[in-house]
Amino acid sequence: MNKYFNNKIVTIFGGTGSFGKAFLKRAIKYSFKEIRIFSRDEKKQNDLRLNYNNKRIKFIIGDVRDKSSVLDASINSDFVFQAAALKQVPSCEFYPLEAVRTNIDGTSNIIDACIKNNVKKIVCLSTDKAVYPINAMGMSKALMEKIAIAKSRNLTKNQTQITITRYGNVLLSRGSVLPLFINKIINNESLTVTDPSMTRFLMNLDQAIDLVFFAIMYGKNGQTIVPQTSATTIETLTKALLKIYEKKNYKINIIGTRHGEKKHETLMSREERFFAKKIKDFYIINSDTRELNYDLYFEKGKKQLKKFQDYTSENTNQLNVSQTINMIKPLIKNFDIEK
């Protein structure tokens, strides 16, 4: 891997988010010539600058909604990761156009800039909420995927290669439920649970970084790469945390499902699963290369499709309380408590 990245330039859009910071921690170990961190957050950029004090890391203030901004940031880049997004489901429900401007228009701007600047590969980060989307966040990510795949169809092997990664909840990422629960437990506040039987895919940030590195090295143009991952119920996650913090008879309020929430998440539809190939711990979905010939849609179907089912957080491997504790306990040692 180090040989693959030797003397290369990488740009991370949304580089001060949870993924960007975890990626930087890993990337600085390799022999990249330059690592560019692009975001709107000057405070977080300055914190990273002071923390690393490394001349190979370049910080760029900008907005993915601005075409000229992303065009300048990606000049001479070999690899690009698009991690900039509005990800909070309730916020996107109330302000869907903001999700469109960042998740859809922003990604389109970045891909166009990569093509114009002859970037070798771009990996666009998506979410399980993009499959059968019921909320604005998921819908915007689903369209982001469609745009990336549509643009990939017009590219040759000698041009920019576009790959998508799609994964579920990342433990302790900004805005996720785990930091919320931990802060409430430490501050002796009652827990608010939407639906105890709700299931969610679980992975840590290192697993997310493994996925994107796999995508940048092995992903091909137009492919979507999905990790094989475990899941748990919100009830199991809650019990695991209370055991870790040795809390008994803790007050839990069941508040009901929030705006735009699913009971179970889906990482692959059954249609995608039919075309997916499994390599190591990943599913690789090739893009649909059919042309706009309606005969291909209405006269030539796939009878075997009925044998497949969606890949969801309900039918994947379910973690029990002990397994969930083993997964999250090492991650919360240095958790920053919000008073």
Which residues does the annotation mark as catalytic? 129
Please classify residue 65 by burial: count the beta carbons closer than 10 Å to its beta carbon, then call 0-12 exposed, 13-18 middle and 19+ buried: middle
* Distance from the Cα of residue 8 to its chain's centroid: 23
CA distance linking residue 38 with residue 192, whole number of Å: 35
CB 277 within 8 A of CB 283: yes
DSSP label at 74?
T
Which candidate, 257, 236, 247, places its Cα nearest to that of 314? 236
DSSP label at 53?
-
- Counting every residue, how long is the chain? 339
Q: SS3 for 282?
A: strand
CA distance linking residue 59 with residue 11, whole number of Å: 10
Q: SS3 for 292?
A: coil
CA distance linking residue 129 with residue 191, whole number of Å: 24
**Paired tokens of 82:** 């698009």
CA distance linking residue 128 with residue 266, whole number of Å: 5
Q: Is 280 left (phi over 0), alpha (psi -120 to 50) or beta?
A: left
